[in-house]
Amino acid sequence: MERDTIAVILAAGEGTRMKSEVPKILHKLCGLPIINYSLDNTAKLSWIKETLVILGYKAEEIKSVLPSSLKVIIQREQLGTGHALMQIKKDLEGFKGNILVLCADAPLLTLETLENLYQCHKRNNAAVTILTAILDNPKGYGRMVRDKEGYLKKIIEELDATSLEREITEVNTSIYCFNWPELLPVLDSLELNQKKGEYYLTDCVEKLIEKGLMVTSFQTKDPYEALGINNRLHLSEAESKLRRKILENLMLQGITILDLNSTFIDQEVKIEQDTIIYPYTIILGNTFIKNRCLIGPSSCVINSQVETDSNIFASFIVNSHIERETTIGPYNYFKDNQQLK
């Protein structure tokens, strides 16, 4: 497949609602920084030519944990999503393809949904294709305003919406696929929203409609994919959803997990077939557990390798290598391959 699309990850915001000195997108979700999920998706999409990350707040701190090969663009003033895309014009000079706009704080998006969004965009030869979702509680999201025939008229931000528009449950997820040459002229004509002091990217959509260009949308089947992490409650909700998915995937690969509600396993953990995980077990970081092991109950394994046919009962293992056919516990503590009292 032709690599005709540049991914642009918006990551410049301060994230004040997290109430933290740590940048929002560096908070951990199932063991990985939130931004890693967007980066992982773009790395796996066969039609992505390059990924750009737009940083602003604590840019150097965030940049220090990103791959050195990644292209970073600095948005020195955080004046909205439209202003963020203005920052890439120089880097995309002469580019004739599409851009996929992603939010760094939306980690639950799946590859399947992004593939469907892209295929919808290509099939319709669209100027923009917008990912939408139906939410029971759409508070905080921009609403998709349509005419009687179902055609999109505009996206209205909640701050600017009427009481009737706020009743709309189809929302903008802020994920877009744009045709860059068609977006560029309307991006240059954006005006500052006086209420919020920002340049809205959603205004570009309305301008494309006014020009008579093709504007389409694709609705995600799972509304949780639209979840943006703005505070600790959102982080906990995303953690719960993603951890459940991790456990279900492991079980489908041949691992027995006796209690989903009391088992916590990070994204990067690897476990081989016929291992059994007992309740109240936590497995974190870069951990590899091989075949036919018994882990738990009440065990914690962090950044360790456990060889085949080993048993760990009610014990704590950190940065250690447990040899084949070893039994540990109950109530042992191993750190750096040493048993501690």
Coil/strand/helix, residue 247: helix
Q: What is the mean pLDDT of residues 105-129?
A: 97
The greatest distance separating any two alpha carbons of the chain, rounded to the nearest whole angstrom, comes to 73
269 confidence band (pLDDT: 50, 70, 90):
very high
Residue 50 has what pLDDT? Answer: 96
Q: What is the mean pLDDT of the chain?
A: 95
Q: Is the pTM of this model over 0.85?
A: yes
Partners of residue 175 on adjacent β-strands = 131
CATH number of 253-340: 2.160.10.10
pLDDT of amino acid 138:
93
Q: Where are the domains of the chain?
A: 5-226, 253-340
pLDDT over 70 for what percent of the chain?
A: 99
CATH architecture of 5-226: Alpha-Beta Complex (3.90)
* SS3 assignment, position 280: coil
Alpha helices in the chain (DSSP H): 35-44, 59-63, 81-86, 111-123, 180-188, 202-210, 232-252
User: In this structure, which amino acid lies at residue 235?
Assistant: L
The answer to whether 5-226 and 253-340 have equal CATH topology is no
Predicted local confidence at residue 193, as pLDDT: 85
Integer Cα distance of 180 and 183 in angstroms: 5
